[in-house]
Each structure stands twice: as C-alpha cells, then as structure tokens.
C-alpha cells in the first residue's frame, strides 16, 4: 500500500520531469484517440455501406458482345441489335435467392380510367411505348408505333420513392396496402370529386410483341384509400406533354395490383426489380445461382461499384491515413517515451540507491516506478481522451474534405464510371427484340452522394483499446526503468554520490 502512496506522491514531487514525459504521452494518446475514432467510425461506415448500398446488384447486357454477334450474323446491311430479355418469372425467381437481403419490385402500365377526367386531358393520351429500362423515375424514352394504344394515365405499383424524399406527401387517407387499393393526386381527385372510399375502374391493353392484336385488360373496383399532394414537376424531363406523361395522372398502388393483369406472352406492363445482396462478398454465389436459373451469359452481374467508390473511397482513404498516422505516432512516441523514461530513471539513480540501501527490494522499487508510470499515463489518458474528442471532429472534417476531392477527381476521370451507360443497366428488361414483358432489374448509374461529413465517435470498446495502448506505454516506460534498476547496486550508486 505504501508503494502506491509513495508512487502517487512521487508523481507530484517529480512534476518537472513528469510534465515532459506526460506531454509526450498526451500527444501519443490524443493522436491515438483521434486516429482510433476516425478508424472505428470509418470501419462502421464501410461495413454499413457494404450492408446496404454496396450490395445492390445490376444485370447489364454486354453491348460489345451483342454488337459482335449482330455483326457476325449480319448480311452487310444495317446492323440490328437484338436486345436480350429475361422472363418476368425468372426475375421473380431470382428474388427468392438466399443470397438476397431484399428484392424491391416496381411495376407500371398505361391505363384509361373509366368515367374520370384526367389532368391535361385536352392534350390527348400517350402511347404504349416501352420504357428503356431503369428504375422508376428515370427518364424514359418511348416508341410509339402507329397502332399504339392511347393511355390517359399510369397505374404504378411500388413507386413510392417520392414520398421518401418529400416531393410527394400524403394529404389524406393512407398508403395503399391491400390489392386494388390506390392513391391519387390531389389534382386528379379535385377534377373528379374523388374522396377516400370512392372506387373507379380503369382499362388498358397488353401489346403483342409479335405484332398481333393487343389484349384488353381492366382493373375493376380500384379503391381510393388516399390522396397525395404532388410537388414534382408535371412533366419532369419528359419532352412529350400529354395526359399519359403528366405525373398528376399517376395512380399509385402496390405491385400485386398492377401484376393482376400480367401475361408473360404480352408486353405493356413494365416491371423493375432491385436486388440487394446480403453482402457484396456473395456476388459470385448469387451470379452462379441466377445463371443456373437461366440468366443469359450476355448479362453481366455487377454491384454498384461507382457508388462504392464515391461513398466509401474517401472514408477508406481517411481510415488508411489515420491508421498509418497512428502507427507512426505510436512507434515514434514509444521510442521517445522509452528515452525519456530512461533519462528520468538515470536522474533518480541516487533516490533508487538510497531506497535499495534501506532494504527495498528491486521488485518493489520497480513496482513503485511502474505505478508512477501508470498514474501519469492514467492522467494523460483522461486528458488525451478529452483532447482527442475535442480535436477529432475538425481533424476528420479536414482530412475527409481532401479525400472527397480526390475521390471526385478519380470518378470524373474517363472510363471510371461504372454501370452508367445511359441504358440504365436495366437493359435486361428491355423488350427491344420483341420480348415478352418490360421486366428489368433496377440499377445503372448511381445517384450516391459522396460522404462529406463523418460524425466521429468512440465506443466503450474503443476506449478500452486506447486504455490498452496507454497501459502498454506505461509498461514500456516501466520496463525501461526496471531494466535500468537491475543494473544499479546501491553501494555503487551511493559511492558515486558521496
């Protein structure tokens, strides 16, 4: 017990040299705190990304391969690319994979609401052209053959992204959940005095990819369960302006309602699917599975690497910098602390000699010095944690800004954009070659924003790790002291002194 008390007193008595040693320890600990806060937070973000964004799968047709095939089969005339298709049932089957965390589907089709007036009805309806794939909300191009069916509105299933970003707000009622439940825009509701609880019927048609007669379909008793305010632009980026293209005429429902009239032999109902892997690491397994279920070789199965690069690369760079910095500081700091400890012990040689002459064992002298190191280190640990916590955020912001700029430069460079290609990467569902349904996976260019802010924090485990580092530093100082003490014989020390 007296060893502890004596050590505590000695820390104060030798405050001059302890301040020097403490300052060095403070720098090492504070730097370690900052580095570990950045590292642990970065790791968390990277893991989180991998768990969410980085695992989105895209099926992208290999255009180059298609060109080569078309060129080889051609007779010298104009080359026609036969875009491959994937059967809708296959897409649904892919969604059952054990490697997927989730599969989000959206479906849409043109409709003509019976006995309802639609917004911009005077501009006429739109064609039954097929969207060029991609996810809902992306720009669509349309083909409009002469015999196209004219639609006045769109029935869209599972397309609720605008409610997440706030551009659409539910003004009344509730979101559609059951079969045949729909919500309509407030403009469409006003035009027709529609209220929640009202029902209406809509008709439509499925197109024959072989040029045959369209197949008439109808959606009976669509029940209005809500009305939404639409803050999006009426036509967005769509150059065509008619009732069909007007977003106020979008009747929103669930996917099952739209697919009620799905017929794999016909086109006219476009479906998108977004697959999310349980982990980016199972991509190969998932690809093997979908290949076995019939995914043509012409489709490449990829994850959204550009989003990964955009979001994660700065964080990984930051993590790398902080880890390297921490290692350097620990190594240099360790050496400096060892040297300072060695010097401090040499200065206390006489004191040690006296204690040894009084009969204090080497082990107790060493223990006392080690406890002094521990007390000093514990003090520096508290101060270092406080200082580190204070400085970590601004340091992180500065470092991250540099990393984001570097990542942006890298992604702007030619050839580095992954999954873009204008085709939206959803080409698998494009029935350009006369396939059955407009069914394709979501994907393509990422709208991922680079991480510009990183709120660093330190978990109890992180504090434990830093305490361990501090303990190692204290022990290092103690070991230096002990190794010195073993060389000291009291008689020699006292003789030198006297």
Partner 1 sequence: MTTTTPAPTETAMLALRDVTYRYPGTHRDVLRGISASFTSGAVHTIVGKSGSGKSTLLSLIAGLDTAGSGEVSFNGTSLAAADRDRYRARDIGVVFQGFNLVTNVSAVQNIVLSMNIAGSPVKDKTEHAYALLERLGIGREDAARPVLKLSGGQQQRVGIARALSHDPAVIIADEPTGALDEKTEEEILGIFTHLAHVEKRCVIIVTHSKRVTQIADVVLGIKSGKIGVVRSDR
Which spans of this chain sit near partner 1 (rule: CB under 8 A)?
2, 6, 9-10, 13-14, 350-351, 353-362, 364, 489-491, 494, 497-498
Provide the minimum distance between the beta carbon of 365 and partner 1 in the complex, in angstroms, as a whole number.
10
Helices (DSSP H) in 97-235: which residue ranges? Answer: 161-165, 186-191
Considering beta carbons, is residue 359 or 415 the nearer one to partner 1? 359
CB closer to partner 1, 88 vs 352: 352
Nearer to partner 1, 17 or 215 (CB): 17
Q: Which is nearer to partner 1, 137 or 353 (CB)?
A: 353
Q: Least distance in Å: CB of 476 to partner 1?
A: 24
CB-nearer residue toward partner 1: 45 or 365: 365
**CA-CA distance, 443 to 425, in Å (whole number)?**
6
The vertex-296 CA angle with 295 and 300, nearest 5°, equals: 85
- Per DSSP, helices labelled H in 348-361 are 349-357
Helix intervals (H) in 53-87:
63-73
Phi, psi for 353 (deg, rounded to 5): -60, -40
| 56-89: b (≥16 Cβ within 10 Å) or e | bbbbbbbeeebeeeeeeeeeeeeeeeebbbbebe
User: Quick count: other Cβ atoms within 10 Å of Cβ 210?
Assistant: 8
Kindly state the smallest distance separating residue 473's Cβ from partner 1, in Å.
Answer: 24
Contact 95, 103 (CB under 8 A): yes
Q: In the chain, what is the greatest distance between 2 CA atoms, to the nearest angstrom?
A: 117
Smallest distance from partner 1 to CB 348, Å:
9
Shortest approach of partner 1 to residue 371 CB, angstroms? 14
> Whose Cβ is closer to partner 1: residue 14's or residue 203's?
14
Residue 283 phi, psi dihedral angles, 5° rounding: -55, -45
The phi, psi pair for 289, rounded to 5°, reads -70, -45
- The sign of the dihedral angle between the CA atoms of 170, 173, 179, 180 is negative
β-strand pairing of 181-185 with 199-206: unpaired
- In terms of CB distance, is 216 or 491 closer to partner 1? 491
Given the complex with partner 1, which of 12 and 77 has the nearer CB atom?
Answer: 12
Closest to partner 1 by CB, 358 vs 455, is: 358
CB 435 within 8 A of CB 270: no
- Eight-state DSSP code of residue 151: B
Smallest distance from partner 1 to CB 26, Å: 24
Alpha helices in 130-201 (DSSP H): 161-165, 186-191
Q: How far is the CB of 358 from partner 1 (least distance, A)?
A: 5
Nearest approach in angstroms of CB 9 to partner 1 is 7
Cβ at position 492, least distance to partner 1 in Å: 9
What totals of helices (H) and strands (E) does the chain contain, helices first? 13, 11
Query: Which of residues 315 and 355 has its CB atom nearest to partner 1 in the complex?
Result: 355
Residue indicated by tokens 């059967």? 87
Distances (CA, A) of 83 to 37, 80, 180, 430: 50, 9, 33, 7
Report the distance separating Cα 184 and Cα 405, nearest Å: 43
Identify the DSSP state of 110: E
Please report how close the Cβ of residue 13 comes to partner 1 at its closest, in angstroms.
Answer: 5
User: Minimum CB separation from partner 1 for residue 7, in Å?
Assistant: 12
Instruction: Return the beta strands (E) in 95-249 as ranges.
Output: 100-113, 153-157, 168-173, 181-185, 199-206, 215-230
Distances in whole angstroms, Cα of residue 430 to Cα of each of 59, 90, 110, 159: 12, 14, 17, 19
CB-nearer residue toward partner 1: 135 or 356:
356
User: Shortest gap between Cβ of 364 and partner 1 (angstroms)?
Assistant: 8
User: Given the complex with partner 1, which of 170 and 360 has the nearer CB atom?
Assistant: 360
């Amino acid at each position: 017990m007296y060893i502890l008390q004596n050590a505590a007193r000695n820390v104060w008595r030798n405050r001059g040299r302890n301040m020097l040693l403490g300052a060095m320890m403070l720098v090492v600990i504070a730097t370690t705190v900052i580095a570990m806060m950045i590292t642990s937070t970065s790791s968390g973000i990277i893991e989180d990304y991998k768990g969410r964004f980085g695992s989105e799968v895209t099926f992208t047709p290999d255009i180059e391969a298609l060109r080569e095939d078309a060129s080889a089969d051609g007779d010298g005339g104009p080359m026609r690319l036969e875009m491959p298709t994937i059967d809708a049932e296959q897409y649904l089957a892919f969604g059952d994979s054990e490697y997927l965390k989730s599969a989000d589907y959206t479906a849409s089709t043109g409709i003509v609401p019976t006995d309802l007036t639609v917004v911009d009805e005077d501009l006429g309806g739109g064609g039954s052209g097929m969207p060029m794939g991609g996810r809902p909300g992306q720009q669509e191009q349309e083909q409009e053959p002469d015999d196209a069916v004219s639609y006045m509105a769109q029935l869209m299933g599972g397309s609720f992204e605008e409610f997440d970003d706030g551009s659409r707000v539910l003004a009344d009622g509730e979101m559609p959940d059951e079969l045949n439940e729909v919500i309509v825009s407030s403009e469409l509701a006003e035009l027709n005095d529609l209220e929640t609880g009202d029902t209406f019927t809509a008709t439509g048609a499925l197109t024959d990819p072989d040029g045959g007669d369209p197949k008439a379909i109808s959606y009976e008793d669509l029940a209005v369960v809500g009305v939404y305010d639409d803050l999006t632009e009426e036509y967005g980026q769509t150059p065509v302006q008619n009732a069909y293209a007007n977003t106020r005429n979008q009747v929103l429902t669930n996917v099952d309602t739209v697919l009620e009239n799905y017929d794999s032999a016909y086109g006219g109902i476009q479906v998108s699917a977004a697959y999310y892997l349980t982990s980016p690491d199972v991509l190969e397994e998932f690809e093997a599975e979908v290949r076995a279920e019939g995914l043509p070789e012409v489709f490449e199965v990829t994850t959204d690497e550009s989003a990964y690069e955009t979001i994660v690369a700065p964080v990984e760079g930051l993590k790398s910098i902080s880890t390297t910095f921490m290692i350097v500081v620990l190594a240099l700091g360790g050496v400096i602390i060892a040297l300072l400890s060695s010097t401090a012990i040499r200065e206390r040689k006489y004191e040690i000699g006296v204690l040894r002459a009084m009969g204090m064992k080497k082990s107790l002298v060493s223990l006392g010095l080690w406890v002094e190191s521990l007390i000093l280190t514990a003090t520096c640990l508290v101060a270092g944690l406080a200082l580190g916590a204070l400085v970590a955020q601004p340091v992180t912001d500065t470092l991250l800004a540099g990393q984001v700029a570097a990542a942006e430069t890298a992604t702007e460079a030619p050839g580095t954009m992954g999954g873009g290609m204008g085709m939206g990467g959803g080409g698998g569902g494009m029935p350009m070659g006369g396939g059955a349904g407009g069914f394709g996976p979501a994907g393509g260019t990422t709208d991922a924003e680079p991480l510009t802010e990183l709120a660093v924090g330190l978990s109890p485990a992180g504090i434990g790790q830093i305490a361990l580092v501090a303990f190692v530093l204290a022990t290092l100082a103690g070991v230096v002291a002990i190794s010195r003490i073993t060389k000291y014989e009291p008689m020699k020390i006292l003789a030198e002194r006297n």
